[in-house]
């Protein structure tokens, strides 16, 4: 079985089928791309896997266990983290506090046993010191440690994207979903992002990304799934996808507005 | 009285009460539809409407004897009260809510609570803490209609409420302005791009909602007393009615209003809930609907886009 | 004059308890609760009933009142808090009205509009803390307030405080970071309710009588004002806010003009405070307290230095 698998996953919104019987596979230690034209259902698929939305029908399996309809916080605790298309940082909190939120359920004692919770409450300082160190590792991973005391909202756009990834990684996921990480980035930033994503893969985190930047997708993805009108129309390596007639048709005439902002 | 006619009696009482709730619920629902914000001051606008109506009516009828002129005066007073409250509603929006549209979600709510408190205490200051009574526009002796006792007030309330609701529905569905309102409610930003003056639409929404509240306030004043905090509980219940119908949905608010009126009446009359705890019915209904069907009867499930 | 000042301080303390709760709920978690008056009443009546009818000691009623308020908080919180939006505000507004309705009508328990009189005074180690000797009462209040304030401050600086702030900033993102949003909202609401209940116990012991008229909507508004005025998300600021609100409240008596200034004047001022602060200074007088990571930061720098030294 793949690390993550959806079986005939379907999500309807009052008659509109946003995701239609999609079988989506993610293999461990690979970078999986999810592409498709606007409104193809990519983000909806993400949301239904990560628990922000509940599928109308179909199943989701993670590491062999069914997680269909599991709430987002539980999904995260199981080892799946994500970022958002339209960056959702805790704007008024500092950069380090944003990452420390990611450490939330690792801090203190596991599983919130009452007595342990009280003990950790009495020992806030020690717990905070450890959380800070753990969080700082992720800021250093992105070279953001000097910005640690800035408010998240004051960061330049590119850094905000990185901070969001750092925050997600701080939850120590085994699987990371990135929703359009390169949106709004210039070619140099995109280049850096590619390296970053590879580094994330190299530390043992499996990555899935939705992306419209075809250069990035074709370059780094080991496996690509294509959605169109909510349906999976192709799956394979970059080479296979590029020569797939159904994919070419879906994207035909799309070349000129590839640069457009998406969804 | 037979049990069937008793049933009709309660039905009539419930519908009358519900009509008033519905009128007031419309204001909550229209504002929520466009700004996604609960206008806490709405109940107090109703109170102001009742006071304006009461004073205008007393001035107009003067010392003339009870007769047709009283009824005409009543309707003129209603128009004055509705116009006055429409202006009040629009001014409140401009002064206390508009500057906060871009700020945090809590800001307009807190401001609205402040406005509500200013209005109710301002009224207590200006008009005193004693309650006043409306002079009936006509003889309110009950009429017997085949075993059902109906008061002229009830007929007046139902007729006015239904006329107002039909007028509003026609306005929203058939006119260009109404279309602009619906468009703004569906998607404010896109509506703006389509050339709709959203500031004007928001103002208009507050105006219409407040006018309807004033109308509701005057209808309440027919049977109940007028005092500075009269709007709090009625406003709260009307809000519950809006939630029951599906907040943001105009037809839903009307349906929710009537339903809540009926539930309260039957709750007291049939289920034997003590009069003192009558107000708790609306609250229980609110909790129930939030648990079972939070989007309301006619509302759509709204999910934040991620 | 001095007496008045002490009176203001005593009420400042009572309101400060409620402000702590409101600040946790509104300032930290970003939820609007409008039923301070309701929990205040629950606390007062719990103390009043248990001490007069059952002969309990004040100190035994304190945890019961806090628990009862918290339980009520959970009961209103569970159905409303899992929903997005501002239903909590309306539900709590309704709840406060219902509480008043009940204490007005449930004669057997609450003695209805007449209220309950002759509440026994607090004793501690055999010493009577009489509200007539205001200094003793004030001292006891300050000690209790300090303990409460310390606990709340501690809570806010823990990971729970950070989780609450994350929820306030972005519920969906917080949820995706493994935070059980509903649980934390309900817990913070219940804690806020509990401390408001404690304020009610003190109120009952200060006036030695309770009646429905003391638990009106204005109490909730005043508590809200303390937070808005002082600064949301800042426990010191809201205690300052509580003092200012009490000062405004007693100003007419303080300057001896209570006959001339109408009773509604201060309430209109409270309403104006809400509107004007929101427009011109939404962060309040002192503003939000930034999270303080200084010690943890120092520890990190120290660790880093050690690591470098080891390499060298």
The pLDDT tens digits along chain C (312 residues) read 778 889 999 999 999 999 999 999 999 999 999 999 999 999 999 999 999 999 899 999 999 999 999 999 998 888 888 776 678 888 888 888 888 888 988 888 898 889 999 888 888 888 888 888 888 899 999 999 999 999 999 899 888 999 999 999 999 999 999 999 999 999 999 999 999 999 999 999 999 999 999 998 889 999 999 999 999 999 999 999 999 999 999 888 888 888 888 888 889 999 999 999 999 999 999 988 888 888 888 988 998 888 888 877
Any CB–CB contact under 8 A between C308 and chain A?
no
Instruction: Tell me what the pLDDT averaged over chain A comes to.
Output: 88
Q: What is the pLDDT of residues C289-308, one digit of tens each?
A: 888 888 888 988 998 888 88
Residue A133 backbone phi and psi in degrees, to 5 = -60, -45
C83/B294 touch (CB, cutoff 8 Å), yes or no: yes
B102–chain A nearest CA distance, Å: 15
Q: Which residues does chain B have within 8 Å of residue C96's beta carbon, measured at their own beta carbons?
A: none
Q: Which residues does chain A have within 8 Å of residue C178's beta carbon, measured at their own beta carbons?
A: 73, 76-77, 102, 104-105, 171
Tell me whether residue A132 is in a domain. Answer: yes
Chain A residue with the nearest C-alpha to that of C179: A73
Note whether C285 and C237 are within 8 A (CB). Answer: yes
Chain B residue with the nearest C-alpha to that of C275: B111
| A231-236 vs A223-228, strand pairing mode | antiparallel
A74 and A29 in one domain?
Answer: yes
C268/B125 touch (CB, cutoff 8 Å), yes or no: yes
Note whether B161 and B222 are within 8 A (CB). Answer: no
Q: How many domains does chain A have?
A: 2
A131 and A65 in one domain?
Answer: no
Any CB–CB contact under 8 A between C95 and chain B?
yes
B306/A88 touch (CB, cutoff 8 Å), yes or no: yes
Range of the domain at A221: 4-79+173-257
C153–chain A nearest CA distance, Å: 11
Q: What is the pLDDT of residue A248?
A: 85
Q: What is the pLDDT of residue B302?
A: 64
C97/B304 touch (CB, cutoff 8 Å), yes or no: no
What subunits touch chain A, counting only 3 or more CB pairs under 8 A? B, C
- Pair of tokens at residue C175: 């949820």
Tell me whether residue A232 is in a domain. Answer: yes
Q: What is the pLDDT of residue A259?
A: 46
Q: What is the pLDDT of residues B261-278, one digit of tens each?
A: 999 999 888 888 887 778
A101 and A65 in one domain?
Answer: no
Q: What is the pLDDT of residue B127?
A: 93
C73–chain A nearest CA distance, Å: 20
- Low-confidence stretches of chain B (pLDDT < 50) are none
- Low-confidence stretches of chain A (pLDDT < 50) are 110-111, 255-263
- Return the number of CB contacts < 8 Å for A and C: 118
A114 and A70 in one domain?
Answer: no
A52/C297 touch (CB, cutoff 8 Å), yes or no: no
Tell me whether residue A182 is in a domain. Answer: yes
Any CB–CB contact under 8 A between B102 and chain A?
no
Q: Which residues does chain C have within 8 Å of residue A139's beta carbon, measured at their own beta carbons?
A: none
Q: Which residues does chain C have within 8 Å of residue B106's beta carbon, measured at their own beta carbons?
A: 26, 30, 32
Mutate to test the interface with C, among A104, A117, A137 (most CBs of C within 10 A): A104
A187 and A248 in one domain?
Answer: yes
Note whether A20 and A27 are within 8 A (CB). Answer: no
A52/C172 touch (CB, cutoff 8 Å), yes or no: yes
Tell me whether residue A165 is in a domain. Answer: no
Tell me whether residue A127 is in a domain. Answer: yes
Any CB–CB contact under 8 A between B144 and chain A?
no
**Residue A177 belongs to domain with CATH number:** 3.40.50.300
Coil, helix or strand at residue B253: helix
A218 and A111 in one domain?
Answer: no
Any CB–CB contact under 8 A between C214 and chain B?
no
CB proximity list for A58: less than 8 A, separation 6 or greater: A6, A7, A8, A9, A10, A21, A22, A68
CA–CA separation, C203 and B123 (whole Å): 29
**CB-closest option in C177, C181, C297 to A102:** C177
A183 and A107 in one domain?
Answer: no
Q: Chain A residues with CB-CB distance to B under 8 A?
A: 14, 43, 47, 52-53, 84-85, 88
Q: Which residues does chain B have within 8 Å of residue A52's beta carbon, measured at their own beta carbons?
A: 306
C274/B38 touch (CB, cutoff 8 Å), yes or no: no
A142 and A29 in one domain?
Answer: no
Domains of chain C: 2-311 (1.10.3470)
Q: What is the pLDDT of residue C307?
A: 86
Tell me whether residue A57 is in a domain. Answer: yes
A70 and A179 in one domain?
Answer: yes
Q: Which residues does chain C have within 8 Å of residue B94's beta carbon, measured at their own beta carbons?
A: none
**CB-closest option in C178, C299, C303 to A105:** C178
Chain B residue with the nearest C-alpha to that of A85: B306
Chain B residue with the nearest C-alpha to that of A83: B306
Question: Which of B83, B94, B97, B93 lies closest to B49, judged by CA?
Answer: B83
Q: What is the pLDDT of residue A118?
A: 60
Q: What is the pLDDT of residue B303?
A: 61
Any CB–CB contact under 8 A between C159 and chain A?
yes
| Burial category of C309 from C-beta neighbours within 10 Å (exposed 0-12, middle 13-18, buried 19 and up) | exposed
Q: What is the pLDDT of residue B304?
A: 62
A236 and A119 in one domain?
Answer: no
Q: What is the pLDDT of residue A121?
A: 65
Q: What is the pLDDT of residue C242?
A: 95
A177 and A250 in one domain?
Answer: yes
A47/B306 touch (CB, cutoff 8 Å), yes or no: yes
Distances (CA, A) of C301 to B284, C29, C304: 56, 31, 5
Q: Which residues does chain A have within 8 Å of residue B300's beta carbon, measured at their own beta carbons?
A: 14
Using only C-alpha atoms, what is the Rg of chain B? Answer: 19
């Amino acid at each position: 079985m793949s690390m993550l698998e959806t079986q005939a996953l379907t999500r309807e919104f009052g008659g509109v089928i946003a995701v239609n019987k999609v079988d989506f596979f993610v293999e461990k230690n690979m970078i999986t791309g999810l592409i498709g034209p606007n409104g193809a259902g990519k983000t909806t698929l993400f949301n239904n896997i990560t628990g922000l939305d509940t599928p109308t029908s179909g199943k989701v399996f993670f590491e062999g266990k069914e997680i269909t309809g599991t709430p987002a916080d539980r999904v995260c605790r199981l080892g799946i983290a994500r970022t958002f298309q339209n960056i959702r940082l805790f704007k008024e909190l500092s950069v380090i506090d944003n990452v420390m939120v990611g450490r939330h359920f690792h801090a203190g004692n596991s599983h919130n046993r009452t007595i342990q919770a009280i003990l950790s409450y009495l020992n806030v300082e020690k717990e905070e010191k450890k959380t800070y160190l753990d969080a700082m590792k992720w800021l250093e991973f992105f070279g953001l440690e000097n910005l640690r005391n800035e408010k998240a909202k004051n960061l330049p756009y590119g850094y905000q994207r990185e901070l969001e990834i750092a925050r997600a990684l701080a939850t120590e996921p085994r699987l990371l979903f990135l929703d359009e990480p390169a949106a709004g980035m210039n070619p140099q930033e995109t280049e850096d992002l590619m390296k970053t994503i590879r580094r994330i893969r190299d530390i043992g985190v499996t990555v899935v990304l939705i992306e419209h930047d075809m250069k990035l997708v074709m370059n780094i993805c080991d496996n690509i799934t294509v959605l169109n009108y909510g349906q999976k129309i192709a799956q394979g390596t970059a080479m296979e996808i590029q020569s797939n007639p159904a994919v070419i048709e879906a994207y035909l005439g799309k070349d000129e507005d590839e640069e457009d902002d998406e969804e | 009285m037979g049990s069937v006619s008793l049933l009709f009696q309660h039905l009539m009482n419930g519908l009358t009460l519900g009509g008033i709730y519905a009128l007031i619920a419309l204001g909550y629902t229209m504002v929520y539809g466009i700004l996604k914000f609960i206008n806490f001051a709405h109940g107090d606008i109703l109170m102001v409407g009742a006071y304006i109506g009461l004073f205008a009516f007393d001035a107009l009828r003067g010392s003339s004897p009870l007769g047709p002129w009283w009824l005409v005066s009543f309707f003129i007073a209603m128009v004055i009260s509705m116009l006055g409250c429409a202006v009040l509603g629009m001014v409140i929006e401009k002064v206390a809510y508009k500057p906060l549209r871009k700020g945090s979600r809590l800001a307009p709510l807190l401001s609205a609570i402040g406005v509500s408190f200013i209005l109710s205490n301002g009224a207590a200051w200006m008009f005193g803490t004693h309650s006043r009574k409306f002079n009936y526009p006509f003889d309110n002796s009950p009429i017997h209609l085949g075993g059902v006792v109906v008061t002229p007030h009830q007929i007046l309330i139902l007729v006015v409420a239904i006329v107002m609701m039909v007028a509003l529905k026609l306005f929203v569905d058939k006119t260009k302005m109404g279309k602009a309102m619906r468009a703004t409610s569906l998607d404010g930003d896109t509506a703006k791009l389509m050339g709709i003056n959203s500031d004007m639409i928001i103002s208009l929404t507050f105006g219409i909602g407040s006018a309807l509240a004033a109308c509701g306030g005057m209808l309440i004043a027919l049977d109940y007393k007028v005092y500075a905090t009269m709007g709090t509980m009625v406003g709260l219940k009307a809000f519950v009615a809006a939630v029951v119908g599906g907040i943001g949905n105009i037809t839903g608010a009307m349906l929710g209003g009537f339903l809540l009126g009926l539930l309260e009446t039957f709750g007291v009359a049939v289920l034997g809930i003590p009069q003192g705890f009558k107000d708790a019915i609306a609250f229980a209904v609110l909790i129930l609907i939030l648990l079972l069907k939070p989007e309301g009867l006619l509302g759509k499930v709204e999910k934040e886009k991620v | 004059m001095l007496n008045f000042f002490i009176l203001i301080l005593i009420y400042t303390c009572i309101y400060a308890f409620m402000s702590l709760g409101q600040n946790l709920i509104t300032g930290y978690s970003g939820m609007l609760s409008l039923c301070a008056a309701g929990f205040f009443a629950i606390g007062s009546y719990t103390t009043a009933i248990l001490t007069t009818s059952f002969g309990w000691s004040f100190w035994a009623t304190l945890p019961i009142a806090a628990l009862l308020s918290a339980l009520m908080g959970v009961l209103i919180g569970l159905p409303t808090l899992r929903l997005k939006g501002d239903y909590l505000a309306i539900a709590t507004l309704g709840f406060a009205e219902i509480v008043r309705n009940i204490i007005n009508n449930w004669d057997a328990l609450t003695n209805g509009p007449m209220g309950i009189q002759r509440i026994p005074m607090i004793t501690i180690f055999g010493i009577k803390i009489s509200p007539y000797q205001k200094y003793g009462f004030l001292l006891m209040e300050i000690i209790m307030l300090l303990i409460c304030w310390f606990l709340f401050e501690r809570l806010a600086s823990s990971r729970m405080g950070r989780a609450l702030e994350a929820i306030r900033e972005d519920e969906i993102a917080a949820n995706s970071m493994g935070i059980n949003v509903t649980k934390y909202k309900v817990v913070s609401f219940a804690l806020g309710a509990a401390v408001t209940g404690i304020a009610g116990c003190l109120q009952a012991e200060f006036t030695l009588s309770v009646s429905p008229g003391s638990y009106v909507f204005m109490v909730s508004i005043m508590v809200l004002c303390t937070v808005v005025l002082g600064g949301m998300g800042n426990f010191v600021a809201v205690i300052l806010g509580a003092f200012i609100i009490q000062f405004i409240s007693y100003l007419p008596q303080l300057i001896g003009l209570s006959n001339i200034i109408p009773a509604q004047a201060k309430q209109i001022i409270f309403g104006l405070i809400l509107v004007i602060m929101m427009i011109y200074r939404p962060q309040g007088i002192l503003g939000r307290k930034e999270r303080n990571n200084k010690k943890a930061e120092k520890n990190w720098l120290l660790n880093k230095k050690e690591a470098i030294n080891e390499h060298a």
